[in-house]
A and B are shown apart, each in its own frame.
Chain A
């Protein structure tokens, strides 16, 4: 494999891995802050126990999210120096601002939250978790501002003298419509992730009839979070799809395995592609549904990959502008499918009386913990691989982005190193999560102290 391919694998592995922890962090920080506020308001001990128990799981997860986050900032320079030179004038600022506005906030106030149980008043202690939550959300905002610029580059100009993209309007970066679709999408997905985790762990305990009051209260709380999160994620996903049709039509066409333009266009449910001949050998479609999703009507034309390929080749020069259709099609479909499954679980949990007493549903909720993690990963794989061959859409290709001086030997070294380390840490993290999840709230309350380490 060439260094570019290796660097892409490394970015994929480290980013998907990092993003196992990020949505849990964003979602749980918010949910724990809500729980602690409920305690401060009502002074009911159950809310304090919930804060400490779910807070413990949050902390175990947070450690790995932070530790793997440093790699993200460094590897742009290490593996993608050509990219960094070309876009650094635009891309660097949100990363720096993320550190200054978000990382300081979340890490400083999390330190206060962990170690401040007897040092801060309950009200102030709860406030520190709100600041952590705000920090995590700000962090998402700034890094997604950087990513949305790669999806839909705005507010820049190409400077031939310096040979790079240069910022012309910072406000355009903030106003990027790709950002305002991506950012709420990720925040709602994080809320759903936190909800699914709390729901699943509670279901495990309810199956064993442990502390029914505590865990029934937790399931209701979690199911609301899951419902709001998964409905929000569907709605903002729809908005994002429409931005994509306008700005990255190729990605949408690949997601639909739509080879030829159609008017009106149907939504594919299950297709078997024949990539060599640019067609599907088998396809089940809902007529007109894609036109509806893309343009809010039943008649509009949706461009297919062949047409878009011709347009982009004319615009950017000859080359293949079609991403990996198999990946785009299935990652998109599975992401959406898992998302709807989450909505169904949340609705069942909330609307069906005694849902929390039926063992099949509790088992489903337990296994449902996997759903948001799968959907989150597939979403990133879809949006990043669907943008190929571009690193920055229409501006810089991935194959021109890697570090010219970093050979495949070096990338192999770091990739193997990170992969082994991440693998070991995953085992440790799952062990600890299960240990504390199974031990229940008493253990969490006992082991919470102002000298936490």
Chain B
């Protein structure tokens, strides 16, 4: 059961793909939510901002549920250690995702300004926290956490707050916000579009600084050495480094593709740095969870593979179709006709 041509490695790869899908899609949702109070100057603006992701945010969030479920199914040990070990960050993420999801649906159901401004805050906090914490969490996975011989997490909450992880968190926070600003300037017109593009221009530089720090630190400090990361980190830096220029030239579509590719390749970079570990132990290499010792049985992996092969293309087709249906830009004038 060694080498890379086995179901264990396939599922490790598929889980990476699910996280790429999640961070690509909900990444811009988070960014839009974070930018809501800054780009939305009045209620009409804010409704433009929220409606830009209205039809799709819920489907985007399902990528997380499938990533979590797939980890449970394909790597039960990984799921058990990770979720019980990263208890408080996950609790905070859950609280954030709950208030955020409810806020999208409930905000427009009452017209009182205090009602709406409270839900706006829920959307902001509910987007900001996960955007930060996912980076902190993944950086910790790559860095390695104390895992004992029984595969149990042996650290505490404070173990998770270290400089490398915080840089990871700031990298994901800035990258998702940038990604969201670009999405917003692609999906809206008028003032919101202009403001989003302005924000993207400034954020591009901030994001670049955090991404350089995070990638160099990952490469130098935390790669397992099993697979040479090669050009991936360089490609990431080239992509994200080009974004401010693209925004300046108003090539917003390309800039969005580039931040998307940056997200995807950053996940690739982290997963290649991990392999064959899924959660390296900082106590002893022998305690590390790997794609082999943390995995489900061959039978379960086989069943899951069949299900994934049949249904993933269908999901991609109809989710893609949704983006096509809602491809039109929206702006203040579209909302003007409405009373609420």
Contacts and interface: CB of A to CB of B under 8 A. Distances in A.
Contacts of A68: 98
A423 interface: no
Contacts of A69: 65
Contacts of A12: none
Interface residues of A, number: 77
Contacts of A104: 59, 62, 66, 315, 318-319
Contact of A452 (B108, B304, B318): B108
B202 interface: no
Interface of A: 59-60, 62-64, 66-71, 73-74, 76-79, 81-82, 84-85, 87-93, 95-101, 103-105, 107-112, 114-116, 119-120, 159, 162, 164, 166-168, 170, 403-406, 410, 413-414, 417-418, 421, 425, 428, 432, 435-436, 446-447, 449, 451-453
A89 B296 contact: yes
Contacts of A111: 54-59, 322
Contacts of A425: 98, 102
Given A60-B106, A70-B61, A88-B76, 17 more contacts: A63-B104, A67-B101, A77-B68, A85-B80, A89-B76, A92-B79, A96-B72, A97-B307, A100-B307, A104-B62, A108-B59, A114-B54, A410-B88, A418-B94, A432-B110, A435-B109, A447-B340
Interface of B: 47, 50-51, 54-59, 61-62, 64-66, 68-74, 76-77, 79-85, 87-88, 90-91, 94-95, 97-99, 101-102, 104-110, 150-154, 296-297, 299-300, 303-304, 307-308, 311-312, 315, 318-319, 322, 325-326, 330, 334-335, 338-340
A84 B88 contact: no
25 contacts: A69-B65, A71-B98, A73-B69, A81-B84, A81-B152, A89-B297, A90-B300, A99-B65, A101-B311, A103-B66, A107-B58, A112-B322, A115-B55, A115-B326, A168-B299, A170-B303, A405-B154, A406-B84, A406-B87, A414-B87, A417-B91, A435-B109, A452-B108, A453-B54, A453-B105
Nearest to B325: A119
Given A77-B82, A96-B70, A168-B299, A108 B338 contact: no
B330 A93 contact: no
Nearest to B302: A170
A324 B301 CA distance: 38
B62 A95 contact: no
A81 B81 contact: yes
Top 6 A-B pairs, shortest CB-CB distance: A88-B76, A77-B83, A92-B73, A96-B69, A92-B72, A63-B105
Contacts of B106: 60, 63, 428, 432
B59 A116 contact: no
A167 B88 CA distance: 32
B72 A88 contact: yes
Contacts, number: 241
From B97, B98, B107, name the one whose CB has the most chain A CB atoms within 10 angstroms: B98
B80 A92 contact: no
Contacts of B54: 111, 114-115, 451-453
Contacts of B50: 453
A67 B99 CA distance: 8
Contacts of B47: 451, 453
Nearest to A63: B105
A157 B105 CA distance: 45
B110 to A, nearest CB: 7
From A76, A99, A120, A421, name the one whose CB has the most chain B CB atoms within 10 angstroms: A99
B98 A78 contact: no
Given A120-B325, A405-B85, A107 B61 contact: yes
B268 to A, nearest CB: 22
Contacts of A71: 94, 98
B299 A107 contact: no
A300 to B, nearest CB: 39
Given A104-B315, A108-B322, A404-B152, A78 B90 contact: yes
B334 A451 contact: yes
From A92, A97, A115, name the one whose CB has the most chain B CB atoms within 10 angstroms: A92
Contacts of A447: 108, 340
Contacts of B325: 112, 116, 119-120
A279 to B, nearest CB: 42
Contacts of A114: 54-55
A421 B99 contact: yes
A270 B255 CA distance: 71
Contacts of A66: 58, 101
A451 B296 contact: no
Contacts of A406: 84, 87
B152 A405 contact: yes
From B58, B70, B334, B340, name the one whose CB has the most chain A CB atoms within 10 angstroms: B58
B300 A89 contact: yes
A74 B137 CA distance: 15
A93 B98 contact: no
B290 to A, nearest CB: 14
Nearest to B318: A108
Contacts of A63: 101-102, 104-106
A380 to B, nearest CB: 21
B294 to A, nearest CB: 10
B51 A452 contact: yes
Contacts of B318: 104-105, 108-109
From B54, B70, B102, name the one whose CB has the most chain A CB atoms within 10 angstroms: B102
A62 to B, nearest CB: 8
A220 B39 CA distance: 49
B9 to A, nearest CB: 18
Nearest to B97: A70
